[in-house]
């Protein structure tokens, strides 16, 4: 079949190929109800042809028709010479035309792009795909006519035309349709979905101003993209073009405010000025009120250039300063939109070929995709900060939990100590009121008889003194060793006075012994009681000295405390290690005292020699590394 096709214009020297490309055509204009089959006055014009309206009326927009009955038809004529009948079909394809098209072959209409002649339809961005049946063609010269009219805008134009087998042109047509129509349809759905999502987020969280601005901008752009693919407007043509034109300044305004809010820039006066401009454009172009939206569209778009450049400069400056992923996304997305807008403006003003597709639908999708990713990147950063805050909070909660557990353990310990203290108080009362009272009564009875047994009296007095000492050890001491020794002094003073022994008290300040509790206190009292008892019974002394002192350690070591009990009695022979010889006064007393000192984590030293008195030193640690048994 390809061999049967001859060049459309033999004189142009067009080569023979599977498809014919028509880069020229004959052109003429007729009233809307005429077909130029016999019309003369044809003019040869190059294709693409964006200047048909200006050639016919002298102005680019021409005379606006009042409707379908007043729109002239621009005809383009092509000739094809066939050397033999066509076995099959031919396809006619043109990527761009305005605004409605009908196709004639050899005087018969084989196709048209509009359904109802009396209805305004916009097919300006749709490619034409017409299948010519073989029956409509004949050997020799064949005439193809394409008639264009524009019932609303009055502006027509036509790109180059391709003719050839359908299978050879199908891919070219599908790519053109996807770029011109499919991209706009997909963009409208994507931006509409983004608008619903963003506005929904804002409805739930009114503080998310960025979502509000992003949603409003996406909504405006989705409205803007409708005219790229809607053939039949859902409203009147005037109202439809008004929405198409005024949606762009509002979209630009919301994008501008998004950029300002994203970077925390506060310019209330500038926001007010831009809002006033958008509202003024909306009112001045309203149908039946102000200027025609379609005719004023180029001026509106030119007026938005400063706003677009200012926003682009702001985003580029912030991207250069911060150089983070969100900032770069904003700048790159907006830059792509500026390039796409510039491209479309050049096509719209016929500076670039009208055959090129409008790419603003793709640019709008890229723009809002980049803005959404930048917003998402910011949320990812915030999530990272929140996670860090959560980790810090978890660490603090853990610290507080540990502190609470320690406090609870201390409270439990305090509770146990309180129970023990209460029990000690009960035992003290029972001992004092029970055993103690009985012993005192027995002693009083023996003394009242006059013939008292001195041994029994001494035994009772010793038992009472020992009982009082035990009761004293049950009193809370809170680590105060001096108070403990003071109570002992008070208890033993009568016995020392009775024995004719003077007590000298040399008490130096001592640190608190946190480990000193009732069981440990009893050990200390027993050691001191044994030492003072030996002085009374065996030393033959008339003076005894009780001294306390603190020996600080090195560094963080708090050191030791010492209790020294010294007398001026007869003394005895002590070994080098401080032990007594076999004639030690008091029997096993010193051994028991050493055992008690070791139980307290300390040690006992004895200094004595015959005729020089005796000195017993009890050395205790201020802090116990391991709590010693009190048993």
Q: Which CATH number belongs to the domain containing residue 600 in this structure?
A: 3.30.565.10
Same domain, 493 and 628: yes
> Does 177 score more than 90 pLDDT?
yes
374 and 497: one domain? no
- Whether 16 maps to a domain, the answer reads yes
Final residue in a domain of this structure, among 372, 388, 404: 388
- Has residue 227 been placed in a domain? yes
What's the pLDDT at 467?
65
Assign residue 76 a region (left: φ > 0; alpha: ψ between -120 and 50; beta: otherwise): beta
- Cβ distance 329 to 318 under 8 Å? no
**pLDDT of 137 above 60:** yes
Instruction: Name the strand (E) or helix (H) holding 427.
Output: helix 360-430
Q: What is the mean pLDDT of the chain?
A: 82
Tokens of 199: 């506005």
Instruction: Report yes or no on 394 lying in a domain.
Output: no
Q: Is residue 438 part of a domain?
A: no
| Model pLDDT, residue 459 | 63
* Token duo for residue 623: 């802090």
C-beta atoms surrounding 34 within 10 Å: 14
Domain span at 584 = 478-631
* 311 lies in some domain: yes
Helix, strand, coil percentages (3-state) for the chain, rounded to 5, are: 55, 15, 30
- Per the CB < 8 A criterion, the answer to whether 576 and 536 are in contact is no
* Claim to verify: residue 195 and residue 143 sit in the same structural domain: no
Cα atoms in the Cβ-side hemisphere of radius 13 Å centred on 9: 13
What's the confidence (pLDDT) of residue 593? Answer: 87
Give SS3 for 97. strand
Q: Provide the token pair at 510.
A: 């001592």
Higher pLDDT pick, 579 / 305: 305
In a domain, 414, yes or no: no
pLDDT tens figures, 205-216:
988 898 999 999
Q: Classify residue 389 by burial, with Cβ atoms within 10 Å: 0-12, 13-18, 19+.
A: exposed
Task: Kindly report the CATH number assigned to the domain that includes residue 73.
Answer: 2.60.120.260
Region of poorest pLDDT, from 94-103, 355-364, 515-524: 515-524
Using CA atoms, how far apart are residues 177 and 161, in angstroms rounded to an integer? Answer: 15
Residue 578: which pLDDT band, with cuts at 50, 70 and 90? very low
Do 600 and 484 lie in one domain? The reply is yes
Asked if residues 125 and 53 have their Cβ atoms less than 8 Å apart, the reply is no
CB 222 within 8 A of CB 188: yes
How far apart are alpha carbons 564 and 109 in whole angstroms? 132
Asked if 299 contacts 280 with a C-beta cutoff of 8 angstroms, the reply is no
Q: Given this model, what pLDDT does residue 17 score?
A: 43
Is the same domain home to 157 and 195?
Answer: no
Q: How far is CA 27 from CA 36, 72, 348, in A?
A: 10, 13, 22
Whether 100 and 229 share a structural domain: no
Instruction: Write down how long the chain is.
Output: 631
pLDDT at 46: 96
Which residues, 6+ apart, have CB-to-CB distance to 327 below 8 Å? 315, 318, 319, 321, 374
- Residue 611's pLDDT is 83
The residue out of 388, 408, 424 marking a domain boundary is 388
Query: Pick from 340, 362, 388: which residue ends a domain?
Result: 388
What pLDDT was estimated at residue 11?
31
Averaged over 604-627, what is the pLDDT?
84
Q: Are residues 150 and 201 in the same domain?
A: no
CA distances from 417 to 180, 193, 414, 517, 613 (A): 88, 69, 5, 10, 42
User: What pLDDT does residue 630 have?
Assistant: 41
pLDDT in tens, 419-451: 666 666 656 555 654 555 556 556 555 656 554
Residues 159 and 203 occupy one common structural domain: no
Residue 394 to residues 244, 387, 409: CA-CA distances in angstroms?
54, 10, 22
Helix (H, G, I), strand (E, B) or coil at 497: helix
Mean pLDDT of all residues in 285-289: 88
Q: Is residue 312 over pLDDT 60?
A: yes
Distance CA 598, CA 492 (A): 25
Domain count, the chain: 3
- 40 and 94 share a domain? yes
At 583, the pLDDT band (50, 70, 90 cuts) reads very low
CA–CA separation, 231 vs 245, rounded Å? Answer: 17
261: closest CA among 318, 321, 305, 219? 318
| Same domain, yes or no: 149 and 199 | no
The upper half-sphere exposure of residue 143, i.e. CA atoms within 13 Å in the direction of its Cβ, equals: 14
Average pLDDT over residues 346-370: 90
For residue 263, being part of any structural domain is answered with yes
The larger pLDDT score, comparing residue 45 to residue 236, is at 45
Residue 431 domain flag: no
Residue 494 vs residue 195, higher pLDDT? 195
Q: Which residues contact 51 (CB under 8 A, 6 or more apart)?
A: 60, 157, 350
Position 190 scores a pLDDT of 94
pLDDT by residue (tens digit) across 15-25?
Answer: 334 689 999 99
Of 321, 297, 166, nearest in space to 238 by CA: 297
Is pLDDT at 219 greater than 80 in this prediction?
A: yes
Is the domain of 153 the same as that of 245?
no
Encoding tokens for residue 534?
A: 């030996």
Is pLDDT above 50 for 8? no
More confident residue, 313 or 451: 313
What gap in Å lies between CA 383 and CA 530, rounded to an integer?
73
pTM: 0.62
Please tell me whether residues 193 and 140 are part of one structural domain. no
């Amino acid at each position: 079949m390809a061999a049967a096709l001859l060049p459309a214009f033999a004189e142009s020297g067009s080569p023979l190929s599977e498809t014919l490309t028509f880069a020229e055509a004959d052109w003429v204009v007729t009233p809307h109800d005429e077909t130029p089959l016999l019309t003369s006055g044809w003019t040869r014009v190059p294709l693409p042809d964006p200047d048909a309206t200006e050639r016919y009326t002298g102005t680019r927009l021409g005379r606006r028709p009042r409707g379908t009955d007043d729109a002239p038809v621009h005809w383009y004529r092509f000739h094809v010479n066939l050397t033999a009948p066509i076995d099959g079909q031919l396809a006619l394809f043109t990527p761009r035309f305005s605004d409605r098209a009908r196709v004639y072959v050899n005087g018969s209409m084989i196709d048209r792009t509009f359904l109802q002649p009396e209805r305004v339809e916009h097919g300006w961005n749709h490619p034409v795909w017409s299948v010519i049946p073989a029956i409509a063609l004949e050997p020799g010269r064949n005439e193809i006519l394409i008639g264009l009219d524009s019932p609303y805008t009055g502006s027509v134009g036509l790109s180059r035309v391709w003719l050839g087998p359908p299978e050879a042109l199908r891919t070219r047509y599908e790519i053109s349709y996807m770029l011109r129509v499919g991209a706009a349809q997909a963009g409208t759905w994507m931006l509409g979905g983004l608008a619903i999502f963003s506005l929904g987020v804002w409805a739930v969280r009114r503080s998310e101003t960025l979502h509000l601005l992003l949603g409003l901008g996406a909504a405006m752009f989705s409205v803007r993209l409708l005219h790229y693919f809607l053939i039949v407007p859902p409203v009147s043509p005037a109202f439809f073009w008004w929405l198409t034109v005024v949606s762009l300044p509002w979209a630009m305004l919301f994008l501008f405010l998004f950029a300002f809010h994203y970077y925390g820039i506060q310019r209330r006066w500038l926001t007010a000025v831009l809002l006033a401009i958008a509202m003024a454009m909306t009112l001045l172009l309203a149908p039946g009120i102000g200027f025609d939206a379609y005719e004023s569209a180029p001026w509106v778009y030119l007026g938005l250039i400063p706003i677009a450049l200012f926003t682009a400069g702001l985003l580029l400056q912030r991207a250069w300063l911060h150089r983070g992923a969100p900032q770069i996304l904003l700048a790159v997305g907006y830059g792509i939109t500026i390039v796409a807008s510039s491209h479309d403006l050049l096509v719209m003003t016929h500076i670039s070929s009208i055959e090129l597709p409008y790419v603003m639908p793709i640019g709008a999708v890229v723009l809002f995709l980049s803005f959404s990713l930048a917003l998402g990147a910011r949320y990812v950063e915030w999530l990272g900060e929140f996670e860090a805050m959560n980790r810090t909070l978890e660490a603090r909660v853990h610290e507080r939990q540990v502190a609470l557990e320690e406090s609870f353990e201390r409270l439990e310990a305090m509770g146990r100590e309180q129970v023990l203290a209460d029990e000690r108080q009960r035992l003290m009362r029972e001992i004092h009121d029970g055993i103690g009272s009985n012993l005192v009564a027995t002693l009083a009875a023996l003394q009242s008889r006059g013939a008292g047994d001195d041994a029994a009296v001494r035994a009772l007095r010793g038992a009472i003194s020992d009982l009082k000492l035990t009761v004293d050890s049950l009193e809370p001491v809170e680590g105060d060793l001096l108070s403990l020794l003071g109570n002992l002094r008070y208890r033993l003073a009568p016995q020392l006075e009775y024995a004719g022994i003077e007590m000298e008290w040399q008490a130096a300040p001592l640190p608190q012994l946190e480990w000193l509790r009732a069981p440990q206190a009893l050990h200390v009292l027993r050691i001191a009681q044994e030492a003072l008892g030996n002085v009374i019974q065996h030393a033959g002394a008339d003076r005894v000295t009780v001294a306390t002192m603190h020996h600080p350690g090195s560094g963080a070591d708090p050191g030791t405390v010492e209790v020294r009990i010294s007398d001026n009695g007869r003394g005895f022979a002590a070994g080098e290690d401080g032990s007594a010889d076999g004639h030690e006064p008091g029997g096993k007393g010193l051994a028991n005292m050493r055992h008690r000192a070791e139980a307290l984590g300390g040690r006992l030293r004895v200094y004595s020699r015959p005729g020089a008195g005796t000195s017993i030193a009890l050395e205790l640690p201020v802090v116990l590394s391991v709590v010693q048994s009190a048993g």
